[in-house]
A and B are shown apart, each in its own frame.
Chain A
Amino acid sequence: AQSVAQPEDQVNVAEGNPLTVKCTYSVSGNPYLFWYVQYPNRGLQFLLKYITGDNLVKGSYGFEAEFNKSQTSFHLKKPSALVSDSALYFCAVTPYGGATNKLIFGTGTLLAVQP
């Protein structure tokens, strides 16, 4: 079955430290990969996507993600965390051949940045 895994329910990091939120996927073919962020009582906001090309993708608010085909991973990273980055982060994938936004979502990782 096609799926997305976010192995950590919560990630805690101190402000100013680098952060990583992990995502692995299991889909056939070459997927499109996305990261979205959800603030309390808000909809999802698009952060970045990988379609093709350079494996390192840069997105909004200083976030970036690296596509690793051999490890089927798409980890989200930021060099220096801010308290305002605290939110729920979702990794999502479009299986090859599917409509781009018929997304399979992970269960989300809560990022908590301590001052």
Chain B
Amino acid sequence: NAGVMQNPRHLVRRRGQEARLRCSPMKGHSHVYWYRQLPEEGLKFMVYLQKENIIDESGMPKERFSAEFPKEGPSILRIQQVVRGDSAAYFCASSRDTPAGDAEAFFGQGTRLTVV
């Protein structure tokens, strides 16, 4: 059972371009979370999705950022018109569904975005 797969591992974009980060959850997992880790900081929650639905996007910047988790295919975190401050490691995590909703999340290796 492969773990959470993120690609690309490293992404370089020029200011103003779009960045598209992909995340394939573990097999059998229907919950996906995106986190951002800025240099010298801990991870910060961005968004929580279930298949085709955004459950909680309270950590997402209001502009330029969007996320989706379609019925088929990976979850996508999209950053439009990137700026240098978007440079960070973006981690995806997934968890399975349980009656109590208490399953832990498993994290991918992250995508390191560098904006030049």
Stretch at the interface among B13-21, B66-74, B78-86, B101-109: B101-109
Q: Mark A27-70, 1 if CB is under 8 A from B, else 0.
A: 00000101010000111111001010000000000000000000
> Per DSSP, are chain B's interface residues mostly helix, strand or loop, or mixed?
strand
**Interface bracket on B:** 20 to 34
Which residues on A sit within 8 Å (CB–CB) of B100? Answer: 51
Which residues on A sit within 8 Å (CB–CB) of B52? Answer: none
Most buried by A among B35, B43, B102, B109: B43
Are A99 and B101 closer than 8 Å at their CB atoms?
Answer: yes
| Closest chain A CB from B114 CB (angstroms) | 14
**Contact A99 B55, CB 8 Å, known A42-B109, A43-B107:** yes
Most buried by B among A34, A44, A51, A108: A44
Chain A interface, number of residues (Cβ within 8 angstroms): 24
Are A90 and B43 closer than 8 Å at their CB atoms?
Answer: yes
Are A101 and B41 closer than 8 Å at their CB atoms?
Answer: no
Partner of A102, one of B41, B48, B103: B48
Partner of B91, one of A4, A34, A43: A43
Can you spell out 14 A-B residue pairs with CB atoms less than 8 angstroms apart?
Answer: A34-B104, A42-B109, A43-B6, A43-B107, A44-B43, A44-B91, A44-B93, A100-B105, A101-B31, A101-B93, A101-B95, A102-B45, A102-B48, A108-B42
